[in-house]
Each structure stands twice: as structure tokens, then as C-alpha cells.
Structure 1
Amino acid sequence: MRSNAATALRPDTAPAAAPWQPVCTRRDLVAGSGVVALVDGRQVALFYLPAANGQTLYALDNRDPKSGANVIGRGIVGHLAGELVVAAPLYKQHFRLRDGACVESPEQSLQAWPVRFNGDAVELRPPAAD
């Protein structure tokens, strides 16, 4: 009998990445701040930073892991130790925009979502399952 493990490692049988989903337009974003979109039943906070070097659009889960409230999109965006972060409104912990890691408490990290502009459309792709 042939092992399924060998088949699972072949690139031509790898699961396809989830498709990009349009969630809003560039006009819906607020420069230097967050807005929230509902994607597959999850709230996602979108941050548009047109003055940032390189990447200008970030997406993180909107649910604060410490309080359980959906408030991350209302957080204050800024810099901390050379990183772009959002400060959670309730307990003020800082999450890196690039990967959702909490600066003060790594166990409180947020899921970062792949996000991009496609023309003026803002598109998200569900993150890969761990």
C-alpha cells in the first residue's frame, strides 16, 4: 500500500491558497487610522498608512484578545521601538501591524491577514491555517 505522506508533499497536490476577496474600496479607508470589515464571519481591522515606507495597508483581527471586545480598528496607530503598531483602546497593549504580535505579551497576538490593493479595491485573503 502506498503512503499518503509522500503524496502530501508533492507541490502539485498542495492545497490551493484561498482566493482574494474584495472587502471595500480605497475611498472607504481612513488614512492613518483603522476601519473594520466583516470577512467570512470575522471582523478584520484594516489600517491604511499612505506615508509609511513600503507597505501601506495592513489587516489584523479586530477582536482584542485581552478584553474580548471588537475594538482593534479603533486603536491608535503609531511607532514603538521602530515598529508600526496599533494600541488597543481598552488595555493599551501594542500590536505590530506587520504580523499582529503583541509587544508586551506575545501570547496575546492577533491574526494578521494578507491584504492588498487591486486597483482601488481592497482585497483580503484568509490567513493560512496553522
Structure 2
Amino acid sequence: MSAVLQTWTDICAVDDILPGTGVCALVEDRHVAVFRLQVADGDRFYAIDNVDPKSGASVLSRGLLGNLGERVVVASPLYKNHFDLATGECLEAPEQSVRAHGVRIDAGRVNVTLAG
């Protein structure tokens, strides 16, 4: 069994993403939305595909962040579908779910690795 090597892409400095917002980044030719949320114990970062599957537009990074129950979500600015930031699941139409990607902070920089 061989280990799969993850490729991390440097996106930006942590402070380049305002708390409660997202940015779009190009990672290996894929549009990725990266979000920063402030929580009681610090910041949390999430990354999902940026393309809204219903419209095909690269807009999810501009959606509104919030919670539906225990789930942290972004609402698409076009059709208002909610995407779980941890899993990429579309709550209204699971067949329109997107991929969730790995995020890490390394020396004050936001890094993303694409999901398999």
C-alpha cells in the first residue's frame, strides 16, 4: 500500500481573508472558495468548490455564511441553496453537492489541497 502525497497550494495570507467572508482561488485549474469564520476558540477555515452547480457560475465564495442547526453553511448568491462547508453537501438538492477540500494554516498562510 502506498501513501498518497497531498499537494498543498498557497492561497494567501490569513489576514487577506476578512472574518465572515470568502475568497475565490484557482487551485490546479479548479475554482475553489475559501472561507474564514471566527468562532470562540479562534478562526476556522473551509474550502469547497466555488462553482454553483445549478447555474455553472463561479460565485459560492460571495455567498452569505451562517448556520442551519449545527451545520456551518454558505448560501449561494444566485439560487440561495445552502452548502455545508465541512462536506460540500447541498442541503436542498444533494445531487448538486460540491467537493470539500482540505485547508491548513502554515506560517500565517492559507493552504488548500484538493479532495480526491
TM-score in same-fold range (> 0.5): yes
Question: Which of the two has higher C-alpha Rg?
Answer: 1
Range into which the TM-score falls when normalised by the shorter chain: over 0.9
Paired residue for 2:87?
99
Alpha-carbon separation, structure 2, partners of 1:75 and 1:106: 18
Aligned-residue RMSD, C-alpha: 1.6
Task: Return the structure number with greater strand share.
Answer: 2
Paired residue for 1:42?
30
The correspondence for 1:76, drawn from 42, 46, 64, is: 64
Q: How far apart are 1:81 and its partner, in Å?
A: 2.1
Please report the TM-score for the alignment, with normalisation by the length of structure 1: 0.83
Q: Which amino acid aligns with 1:16?
A: V
Q: Matched residues, percent identical?
A: 45
Paired residue for 2:12?
24
Deviations 1:39-98 (A, max 9, x none): 111111010012266870000110000010000000000011221100001100000010
Question: Are residue 114 (structure 1) and residue 94 (structure 2) matched?
Answer: no
Distance 1:28 1:58, change over 3 A: same
Task: Return the structure number with greater helix share.
Answer: 1
Count of matched residue positions in the alignment of Structure 1 and Structure 2? 116
> Structure 1 residue runs of 4+, over 6 Å off?
none
Paired residue for 1:3?
none
Please report the TM-score for the alignment, with normalisation by the length of structure 2: 0.92
